[in-house]
Structure 1
């Protein structure tokens, strides 16, 4: 049975991804900052017939918490097959480039960028023990500099400096990590789940969490011939669903 860790998985897209992966026969570590809340979520999931899901405490901006989670997975499973870096924050609003404080931008980067690096590097040892390790960095279409430079793009006006910059940086990390691991069995990709109705955006997105999770899983559970170092988005209207950086 393959093992997956999803950070920020106690609600919204992360939670739905955990549910769908469990139905596919994977063992899912449901990452949550508050273990008690995570365990309550898992209890409810079990009551609804979902199995192979276990809450695990992990705060991506706390190195001790990340290491403790790694030690738990190592003790219980011995390896990790799939890492889905889902935890993320929007940050304070508005986010004008000329006035948003450095401290506010750093706070977003701590979770959306440095937190991903911390988790990925800490779990790398366990991922390398998998026959087919996968790393999916959950990004946003707003992280595309190419699209942000196109006045015809439907989200062109959204220039939230903290969030946009953090996701662009995350995409850069994906590219560099995928290149480093290209001669191994790793598949490392950035995945934009699309503008989804969640607490994150006051449920303003037009897409359901079910579709968002399904899209993440589609581009995570790729075979040995699958792509690596790519950026996928449901907003791209061609068969590849590959977004420009």
Structure 2
């Protein structure tokens, strides 16, 4: 039985790979699919994600599907969870490979250096 391009999805293990469109994530997708695992390749960029899945299909790995995912967006993660539940009814493997940059802040690095210099001067004079 084939469902949406995936053969016998209920009989196979199902994996989600975040950040699966390039680098280590793409290779993880390739390795899992070559072992008979159904792979949901995820990426933020729809063009790159779809192209990565197409390349895997072209290499003979047909049990790979693309789904858009921005791991920093809770509603995007919820849509992925619904997709996996509705399409496969289970999730066996989760590979969290997506790179996430957290909040940033400007830090005044001159004050701590001055404090360090002052401490060193005190230490060298015996205080």
TM-score, scaled to structure 2: 0.69
Q: Equivalent residue of 1:104, what SS?
A: coil
| Superposition deviation, residue 103 in structure 1 | 4.0
Query: Match for residue 113 of structure 1?
Result: none
Deviations 1:44-85 (A, max 9, x none): 221121221111111100011000011111110011011111
Corresponding residue number in structure 2 for 1:6: 17
Looking at structure 2, the residues matched to 38 and 103 of structure 1 have their Cα atoms a distance apart, in angstroms, of 25
- Name the residue aligned to 1:34: 45
Between 1 and 2, higher relative CO (CA 8 Å, sep ≥ 6) is seen in 2
Q: Where in structure 1 are there 5+ consecutive unaligned residues?
A: 92-101, 106-245
Q: Secondary structure in 2 aligned to 1:29?
A: strand
Q: For residue 36 of structure 1, report the CA deviation from its aligned partner.
A: 2.6
Alpha-carbon distance, 1:34 to partner: 1.6
Identify the residue that residue 119 of structure 2 maps to in structure 1: none
Matches of 1:84 and 1:63, distance apart in 2: 17
Long gaps (5+) in structure 2? 1-11, 106-127
Task: State the Cα RMSD in Å.
Answer: 1.6
Alpha-carbon separation, structure 2, partners of 1:26 and 1:70: 18
Q: Tell which deviates more after alignment, 4-13 or 30-39.
A: 30-39
Q: Within 5 A, what are the aligned runs for 1:1-245?
A: 1-89=12-100, 103-104=103-104
Q: Show structure 1 runs of 4+ deviating over 3 A.
A: none
State TM-score, norm by structure 1. 0.37
Give the structure with the higher percent strand.
Answer: 2
- Higher Rg of the two aligned structures: 2
Per-residue Cα deviation, 1:1-31 (whole angstroms, up to 9, x for no partner): 0000011110000000000000000000001
